[in-house]
């Protein structure tokens, strides 16, 4: 790949999604854009970039930026973390909610496996503390194609094999004539999906009791991670929790957040973690 072409696509990714792609991973650009180039009839990435620069089509630019992101996800990824949210954090939030309504945000939720995993945990064996509670799950992603797929709740054979036991598959999904599996109405009714760029303000989404932002910020440039951390803090309800993937951290990105004392890879409003630990 020519250096000028690589730089143009790297700049697009950085500006559109905050993703930082090092030169050592140039092969990812070619792999992730190959299907778009074929579909549009481009003979090379140089032709694709020329089109981007000459036509100034914001819809196409957004599609390319979304295609450059990793959408690799699977059901029950880091299951211990998901189970801790459902068994402990959500009941705590219900107890503190006068209305019994709690909200969960899967930020950067890709094709929906994370959100549906949470919905399955709530459907299979809801803890007593969630009896009668209304749990709303919102999953957002920059990619319109991924979001539409998530909304349909249909997954191929390879996708359902990643993380789903045969018992959960048969209980919560229906085999379609196409060979795909579709999530049950019970699962889909608990989850909503929306296109959202984490670099944009999320005030319109409302406040959340739990925010899952896992395997999202790691690939971002520091400036983008700072923006995302601040926006997650903005959308966190009092007493709420932000959950990252194991090994991820928001350290040094926002003075408004600190590590949770009781949840690994969890973050809470600054000044509250120690207070909760002392009270316990």
Shared domain for 162 and 197, answered yes or no, is yes
Residue 74 lies in a domain: no
Nearest 5°: phi and psi at 179?
Answer: 100, -10
Shared domain for 157 and 275, answered yes or no, is yes
* Residue range 149-171: mean pLDDT, rounded: 96
**R_g of the chain computed on alpha carbons:** 20
246 in Cβ contact with 99 (< 8 Å): no
In the chain, pLDDT over 70 holds for what percent of residues?
Answer: 98
Beta strands in the chain (DSSP E): 101-107, 134-141, 154-155, 173-175, 181-183, 191-195, 208-212, 236-243, 257-259, 266-269
Please report the pLDDT score of residue 276 as a whole number.
Answer: 57
Q: What is the mean pLDDT of the chain?
A: 92
Task: Give the CATH number, domain containing residue 179.
Answer: 3.40.50.150
pLDDT tens digits, one per residue of 30-61: 999 998 899 989 989 999 999 988 888 888 88
243 in Cβ contact with 213 (< 8 Å): yes
Please report the pLDDT score of residue 56 as a whole number.
Answer: 80
As to burial, measured by CB atoms within 10 angstroms (0-12 exposed, 13-18 middle, 19+ buried), residue 20 is: middle
Alpha-carbon gap, residue 247 to 244, rounded angstroms: 8
Please report the pLDDT score of residue 126 as a whole number.
Answer: 80
Report in angstroms the alpha-carbon separations of 45 from 4, 33, 38, 275: 11, 8, 10, 54
Q: Name the pLDDT band for 262 (thresholds 50, 70, 90).
A: confident
Shared domain for 103 and 51, answered yes or no, is no
Residue 14 pLDDT > 90, yes or no? yes
Which helix or strand (DSSP H or E) is residue 16 part of?
helix 3-17
pLDDT tens digits, one per residue of 182-199: 999 999 999 999 999 999
Residue 115 pLDDT > 90, yes or no? yes
The pTM (predicted TM-score) of the whole model is 0.92
Please report the pLDDT score of residue 124 as a whole number.
Answer: 83
Identify the top-confidence range among 1-15, 21-35, 89-103, 227-241: 227-241
Residue 156 pLDDT > 60, yes or no? yes
* Residue range 91-107: mean pLDDT, rounded: 93
Shared domain for 87 and 188, answered yes or no, is yes
Final residue in a domain of this structure, among 34, 67, 100: 67
> Residue 273's beta-bridge partner residues?
none
Please report the pLDDT score of residue 274 as a whole number.
Answer: 59
Shared domain for 118 and 16, answered yes or no, is no
Residue 213 pLDDT > 70, yes or no? yes
Nearest 5°: phi and psi at 138?
Answer: -115, 130
Shared domain for 96 and 16, answered yes or no, is no
Shared domain for 62 and 83, answered yes or no, is no
In the chain, pLDDT over 90 holds for what percent of residues?
Answer: 78
Please tell me the total count of domains within the chain: 2
Task: Give the CATH number, domain containing residue 17.
Answer: 1.10.155
Please report the pLDDT score of residue 193 as a whole number.
Answer: 98
Shared domain for 173 and 272, answered yes or no, is yes
């Amino acid at each position: 790949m020519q250096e000028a072409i690589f730089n143009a696509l790297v700049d697009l990714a950085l500006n559109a999604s905050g993703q930082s792609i090092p030169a050592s991973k140039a092969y990812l650009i070619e792999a992730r854009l190959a299907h778009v180039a074929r579909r549009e009839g481009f003979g090379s990435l140089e032709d694709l970039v020329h089109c981007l620069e000459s036509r100034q089509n914001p819809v196409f630019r957004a599609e390319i930026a979304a295609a450059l992101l990793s959408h690799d996800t699977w059901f029950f990824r880091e299951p211990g973390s998901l189970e801790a949210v459902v068994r402990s954090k959500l009941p705590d939030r219900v107890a503190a909610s006068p209305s019994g309504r709690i909200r969960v945000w899967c930020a950067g939720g890709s094709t929906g496996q994370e959100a549906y995993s949470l919905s399955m945990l709530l459907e299979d064996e809801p803890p007593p503390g969630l009896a009668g509670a209304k749990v709303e799950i919102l999953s957002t992603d920059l990619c319109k194609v991924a979001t539409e797929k998530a909304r349909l709740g249909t997954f191929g054979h390879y996708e359902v094999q990643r993380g789903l036991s045969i018992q959960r598959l048969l209980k919560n999904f229906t085999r379609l004539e196409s060979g795909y599996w579709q999530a049950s109405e019970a699962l889909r009714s608990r989850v909503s999906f929306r296109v959202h760029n984490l670099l944009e303000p999320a005030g319109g989404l409302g406040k959340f009791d739990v925010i899952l932002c896992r395997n999202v910020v790691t690939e971002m440039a520091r400036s983008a991670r700072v923006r995302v951390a601040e926006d997650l803090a903005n959308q966190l309800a009092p007493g709420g929790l932000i959950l990252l993937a194991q090994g991820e951290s928001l350290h040094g990105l926002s003075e408004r957040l600190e590590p949770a004392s009781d949840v690994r890879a969890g973050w809470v409003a600054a000044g509250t973690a120690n207070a909760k630990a002392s009270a316990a």
